[in-house]
Structure 1
Amino acid sequence: MNEIELEFTTNILKPWDDLNQLLSERLVLEPKISELTRLSKDLAKNIHHHTDYFIKKNGGNDTDVKKERKAIHIASHENKIIGDVADTSKHFDLRDTNRIALIQLSSSFEYKTDKFCFMRNLSKINYQNTADTFCFLKTSYEAIHYLLSHFNMNITFERSVTENGDEFFDEAWLYHDSNKSISVKSSKIEFLEKNNEGHYIHVNPKEVRFAVYNKHEETNNLP
């Protein structure tokens, strides 16, 4: 593994794995501000700026970086989206307001016969001026794969989005861990149900019991 591949593995691949694992934990998260929104934004910036590192490591300058990045964004829609997230995270007020892309977290539960199974937390990319929404993990994964191929890196990176796969309970419940979300004033929850074809569709249960428990409560006090 050369220096560029080591940098890519350390600053992009490992953080992607870490974020994937954290999103599978049963945590209540403030949608816009938490440790996981920070990790999503940091990963987006690392992916976006890898082009700078690669070009300058090979003797290029800022003009070369801009030219290469533009070519990448034309060829890879996922890298363009990640670039929008990175620039929004760094500057927020972008001249092209249609590029403003915000990270928002939500928790997803499978709903079945009045019971709830935690699936995972989701990190979503929401464009401020449009209704466009993308899964951050899946978008960043495709962006990563494009860069691995584009820069001819000798790295194999095959992953899948981790799901909790927990059991069903009478209530939809989450833990609060102040190390992951210092303060939680609200949370966003999504409910999904399998249709006859086995595909998940969004549903609105007639009644939902939702609870949040302290991460350090004794397990015998939990459902």
Structure 2
Amino acid sequence: MKSIEEKILLDILKPWEKLNDSLISNLVLNKNSNDFLTNASNLATAIKHFPESTLKFKPFDLSKENISYQIISDLSDSAKHGDLSNPKRQCDLILTSLVEKSTDLKYRFLRNQIEIGHATHGKRDFLECSRDAIFFILAKCRMASDWKAVIKTSNIEFSSNIELFADRSLQVSLQGWHCRFIQKNESGVYDVVGHEGKFNITLNHNWPTSKEKDD
């Protein structure tokens, strides 16, 4: 049987870090259906039930203490059960490719963002919300940890060409790719902006061609 420390490391911390690493790859993904969204839903369920399975804390009670944990708990139930009896708890997930714009109108892929849409609390970045919920349950369970939980961004340089890759092993269909252009303001915070200037998007993929499908 796993110890509590092993359980949170293997079931929560490592999956969070793996998802964090995966999201900085310059991938084009179906916004509504892909492996990363599935992994996020599974992680939400692990976070929700960890305090209950280890120290018998009730998710209903914990949801009153921490909004991030409440959102993650609602996301877990929405993913498992579909439409919830309380529509104020309903959640969905969407994946958006974040493209950063420079002051000289060059662009770079920054990361893919998984966004929670909560019926009551609005939109939240999944990595940020789940990280806050994890820190909450670590404190609630009185577990010491040196986990840093830094949300990563790509090291791709600014260019007039945005190179992306569509991996068929991560999704069934490419329909519904969603992209958002952002730019740092004077305070170092990203704002949503429009795109300007000339730039190209190069899409590489491993989908079969029409001829390969016929063969």
Identity of aligned residues (%): 26
C-alpha offsets along residues 31-83 of structure 1, whole Å, 9 cap, x if unaligned? Answer: 11001000000000100111231135xxxxxxxx5xx3222111111100000
Residues 28, 187 of structure 1: 8 Å contact kept: yes
How far did 1:21 drift?
0.3
Unaligned runs of 5+ residues in structure 2 are: 208-215
Residues 5, 154 of structure 1: 8 Å contact kept: no
Residue 99 (structure 2) aligned to one of 101, 104, 109: 109
Residues 174, 211 of structure 1: 8 Å contact kept: yes
Whole-angstrom CA distance in 1 between matches of 2:206 and 2:68: 35
Whole-angstrom CA distance in 2 between matches of 1:55 and 1:114: 53
Whole-angstrom CA distance in 1 between matches of 2:204 and 2:107: 16
* Residues paired across the two proteins, number: 204
Whole-angstrom CA distance in 2 between matches of 1:182 and 1:211: 21
Q: Which position in structure 2 is the counterpart of 1:119? A: 110
* TM-score normalised according to structure 1 size: 0.85
Q: Which position in structure 1 is the counterpart of 2:63? A: 73
Residues 32, 176 of structure 2: 8 Å contact kept: no
- CA 212–130 in structure 1, closer or farther in 2 if over 3 Å, else same: farther
C-alpha offsets along residues 74-106 of structure 1, whole Å, 9 cap, x if unaligned? Answer: 111110000010000000110011211111100
Q: Which position in structure 2 is the counterpart of 1:88? A: 78
Match for 2:19: what amino acid? L
C-alpha offsets along residues 82-141 of structure 1, whole Å, 9 cap, x if unaligned? Answer: 0010000000110011211111100001112332111100011012x4681000001100
- Which 4+ runs in 1 deviate beyond 6 A? none
Q: Which position in structure 2 is the counterpart of 1:12? A: 12
Match for 1:116: what amino acid? Y
Match for 2:20: what amino acid? N
SS in structure 2 of the partner of residue 32 of structure 1: coil
